[in-house]
Structure 1
Amino acid sequence: MDKRKIKQAFSAAAASYDGAAQLQRSVGTALLQSADLANQHGTLLDIGCGTGFLTGELLALSPCQELIALDMALPMLHATRQKLSGHTNVHYLCADAEALPLADQSVDGVFSNLALQWCGDLRAVFADIRRVLKPDGQLVFATFGTETLQELKNAWATEDNYQHVNDFHDETYLIDGLQQAGFRAIHSQRQHHQPRYASVLELMRELKHLGAHNVLPRRNKGVTGKTALQRMMAAYPRNPQEPTISATFDVIMVSAKR
């Protein structure tokens, strides 16, 4: 993962993020419904807070005393701070999830909604999260699985051999990584979301507004030609009976105890 490009992409998307984040809000709501928030006291950490949707929900639904909103993109943190300006118990931390600047056993719960997929070494991230969690602390997160954007990936594969769509980890990898880090009571569930779009271009515009377009260094460094783009869009799978196209978002939700 090229962290500089990831940071630039999400910084640029801060202003447009909320208007395009319906899936993120839907997944975040389901994630919190799966968590034991009624007993979540103390200090909570929201990794990859974005513009603050999950942060605000954690404040509303849990009896936590303090909440740390963490994001590597400073404009995202500014958006969260503006949204939650009335809350004095929220602290804002601009930092990388792969290098948490927090003391050992300093937080009671860690939450992350569709952010950990941007980490290059998830196993190291799990180990560091366990380090900052107190004994019996809870980790709850959602991330994208291997079938995410499979239609877009397959359509591009008919055009060239470059990587236009990011790869994501499967459920087994996540569970193994958590076990190796020392987590216990691991539970996971997988859901497929298939929102519809008026066109492939609309899907690609939404990914850009979210900051979630391809930021991998091994992608085609040249400008994708108009003809190649048109051929890719023609190859995108569609139902001839439907005027719209769908895109698969393979979401894995996981909870674990320290």
Structure 2
Amino acid sequence: MSARPLDLSRVRRNFSASAGDYDDHAVVQKRVVERLAELLLAEGPLVGATLDVGVGTGELTARLLAASPGMRPVIADLAHGMTLHAAGRIGTALPFDGDAQSLPLHSGRFAAVVSSSVYQWVNDLSAAFAESARVLAPDGRFAFALFGERTLFELRHAYALALAEGGGEASHAQEFPEPAAVEGALVGAGFEGVRVFSEEEIQHHPDVPDLLRSLKRIGAANAATGRPAGLASRRVMARMTELYGQHYGSQGTIPATYQVIYGFGRKRG
């Protein structure tokens, strides 16, 4: 599958439409929020204005706020439906719609910027990190989790095998970053004390159609520009499903692996 830039208007529509059902299906994403909150709070509670970029349904901010009475939450999401959902959940938060690559905010105003499962949905990671650095006050904390290059590798492998057998044109697919690129973008944005590492989360599904439905229900459908109407022909899809089970299935289920990249840094004082 070849990579293309993301259609951000499609990303916005997909996630906005999924706001009401997201929490029922975002199994891995909730695990990531829990882990990121744990890592953040290990360094102490958050104090002062804290921006959650790509707030989603508000799970990360809610967890941080419960342990950080001195935190003043500001929440933003590209998808209006998500912003509304999170604002209804976190009544003390200041909400707005915003693009991670171009935040409509004054510089140097935040003690912390946090984000979970969002930055894989930007076209320019360096620009997005630079925006977070811009709005942070000196010595401000930056912490995030995003999905890396090994995410859904089983699905990609099975699709490539099916396509090679059947011929036809490959679907353009989203490209996930590798840890070295994430670290480089952080350093390039001027952060100090940079720490980047990755962990794997695995979710099991009864079959490939169930995996694809779960991705669609949380808004994580293919948003690459120039993509065809569907992932592939019915024949290729059927063969992909068969190959996925043959290569990765066990005891009536298939695994879906997510590489989660965690990143931390501070703005230079």
Calculate the TM-score normalised by the size of structure 1: 0.93
Corresponding residue of 1:44: 50
Residue 115 of structure 2, aligned match among 112, 115, 126:
112
1:77 positional shift: 1.3
Q: Is the 8 A contact 1:111 1:139 kept in 2?
A: yes
Q: Is the 8 A contact 1:159 1:228 kept in 2?
A: yes
1:25-74 alpha-carbon deviations (Å, 9 max, x no partner): 11111111111463421100001111111121121122334211100111
1:145-190 alpha-carbon deviations (Å, 9 max, x no partner): 1100001111111233523642100111011111111101011221
1:221 positional shift: 4.1
Corresponding residue of 1:257: 266
> Residues of 2 paired with 1:82 and 1:239: CA distance?
41
For 2:258, give the aligned amino acid. F
1:82-105 alpha-carbon deviations (Å, 9 max, x no partner): 222xx33x1011111111011010
Q: Is the 8 A contact 2:162 2:240 kept in 1?
A: yes
Give the length in aligned residue pairs.
255
1:228 positional shift: 2.1
Corresponding residue of 1:229: 237
Q: Is the 8 A contact 1:107 1:134 kept in 2?
A: yes
> Residues of 2 paired with 1:142 and 1:65: CA distance?
20
Q: Is the 8 A contact 2:154 2:248 kept in 1?
A: no
Corresponding residue of 1:22: 27
Residue 248 of structure 1, aligned match among 250, 253, 257:
257
Matched, 1:150 2:153: yes
Q: Is the 8 A contact 2:45 2:67 kept in 1?
A: no
Corresponding residue of 1:56: 62
> Residues of 1 paired with 2:137 and 2:222: CA distance?
35
Query: Aligned Cα RMSD in Å?
Result: 1.6
Corresponding residue of 2:14: 9
Corresponding residue of 2:166: none
**Which range moved further: 230-239 or 72-81?**
230-239
Distance change >3 Å, CA 200–CA 165, structure 1 → 2: farther
DSSP 3-state at the match of 1:236? helix
For 2:36, give the aligned amino acid. L
Q: How does 1:1-258 map to 2 (within 5 A)?
A: 1-36=6-41, 38-84=44-90, 87-88=91-92, 90-160=93-163, 161-163=169-171, 165-221=173-229, 224-237=232-245, 238-239=247-248, 241-258=250-267
1:14 positional shift: 1.1
Q: Which runs of 5+ in 2 are unaligned?
A: 1-5, 164-168
For 1:78, give the aligned amino acid. L
Distance change >3 Å, CA 46–CA 227, structure 1 → 2: same
> Residues of 2 paired with 1:152 and 1:222: CA distance?
15
DSSP 3-state at the match of 1:4? helix
Calculate the TM-score normalised by the size of structure 2: 0.90
Q: Is the 8 A contact 1:17 1:209 kept in 2?
A: yes
